[in-house]
Chains A and B, each alone.
Chain A
Amino acid sequence: MIHLYRVSKSYEGIPALREITLNVDKGEFVFVTGASGAGKTTLLKILFCAERADEGQIIIQGMNTFRLSPSSIPYLRRNMGFVFQDYKLLQHKTVYENIALALKVVGTPYGEIERRALTALKRVGMDNKDHLTPPKLSGGEQQRVAIARALVNEPQILLADEPTGNLDPQSGQDVFRLFKEINLKGTSVIVATHDWETVRKMQRRIVVMERGRITTDSKDQALERTVPANNGRGASKP
């Protein structure tokens, strides 16, 4: 589903990704973890075509993103959902309107919008708060709305960048539980996170990054040996 081969990216001469090679299969759940500045966000942005890689090959759902014209990028993005650390909800619109916007953007017939928006909100347990605006919701609730928005068009891939970074531990757990449910229904999920405790508990594939390189890519318990004692926040050596 996602194939990256020797992908590199620099910002003003400073390398952010160095020859990354990574394959993610359909229905797989992958945690991307590592210290700040390790390249997790750049990796997700490249997958989402928000950034262009300098070198390498990226194939997503059979499409070579290097060959995609700017006008084709929106169509690629429609098959992916993105969950942000800061939720990116429109503050002046209601929860329902935030979800409906994602449906309108892809040209969903008006008659279907309400049903599909409410179904997505029900899936994340927010259907009873559809009339409220984001400032009236807690951080965890806002992130659940953001997840509903990412899922409403039934994408095959869900990307999340530090989705629990602004949440209390309990809300963070709820969010990860949601991701697990989504993944069980066949959506590939890639989550960039610092939250090593959750990563360990979830028992999923883990990709550790350091200074723009993938230092470990493993689902087995041996991974624990490669992770530093400071919860993955410091530099680790492969």
Chain B
Amino acid sequence: MRGYGPLFYLIEALRGLRANGLVNLLAVGTISMAMLIVGFFLLVFLNLQSAVHAVGERLAVSVYLKEGVTPQERDFLAGRLKTEPGVRRVTFVPRDEALATLRKELKGQEALLEGLGENPLPDAYELSVDENLSDPARMDALARRVEKYFGVEEVSYGKESVEVLNKLLRLVTYGGMTLAVLLGVSVIFIISNSVRLALYSRRQEIELMQWIGATRGFITGPFLAEGMIVSAGGTAIALAVLAALFHALPREAVLFLSGPGGLSFLPVWVIAYLVGGGAVLGLLGGFFSVNKFLE
């Protein structure tokens, strides 16, 4: 059985796009708007995620020791802490060193420390943890476990900042996902309609092709390719506009918006996935329309 390859369908699709230029141009424009919103949310999400990771990397858990803990007990505790999952490094901070650090941090306000007499700070261990422990629930579980160890007075970590960042990330994730699904459905709908218009404008040709022995694949191929081109094209335009807007941001705005992870544009693999995803949505839109028409 003879047949044509993808190039044939591509050429036929480009002919079809030219024949229904205005309709397809409108579809590309509408898809661009929808994908611009999706791209924007993805940009915010990825930058927020990188901020959370950066905070997670810097996150330290302070394990304050009880008074009177012997060096042997302290070493035993250090050994136990090192075996805790997610703990990367255990550093001992003697009380004198902690006070010196505090003095440095309070430079200019040393008066606050006057009159303390004896050093009120306890010996402590600083734990560096993996970034996946930036999840508040895991962090809390670690703190509760360590608190019960012999010789431990108190455990503290930046609970509030971790919780706030995670809440924000969750909000952007769920909001963005909901919006992406809604806009994805809209893209399918837009493509489905533009392909349907193309089908109606060429219904005589399609009917004739069926009469002269065209297979379903031969008839549908160019329309599916049209859907893919329009949708992927719309997505590419949206990303180009987003990139232009991103790079046109004034320096002050960049500094203001930069989180602990910095501010960066969508990575290449995300752009590739978005354009590919746009093409798949176009394919789906075309598929629904063509099948309904031929039935």
Contact = CB atoms under 8 A, between A and B. Distances in A.
Interface stretch (A19-27, A69-77, A205-213): A69-77
Interface in A141-166: 149, 153
A122 interface: no
A108 interface: yes
Contacts of B209: 101, 105
A78 interface: yes
Interface in A29-67: 48, 50
Interface string A6-26: 000000000000000000000
Nearest to B219: A105
A179 interface: no
A48 B213 CA distance: 10
A219 interface: no
A81 to B, nearest CB: 8
B205 A78 contact: no
Contacts of A149: 212
B149 to A, nearest CB: 71
Contacts of A75: 213, 215
B2 interface: yes
Contact of B4 (A82, A90, A102, A107): A107
Interface string B1-39: 111100000000000000000000000000000000000
A166 to B, nearest CB: 17
Interface in A104-130: 104-109
Contacts of A102: 212-213
Contacts of B189: none
Interface in B210-229: 210-216, 218
Interface of A: 48, 50, 71, 74-75, 77-78, 82, 88, 90, 101-102, 104-109, 149, 153
Closest 7 CB pairs of A and B: A107-B2, A78-B213, A77-B213, A105-B214, A107-B3, A74-B213, A74-B215
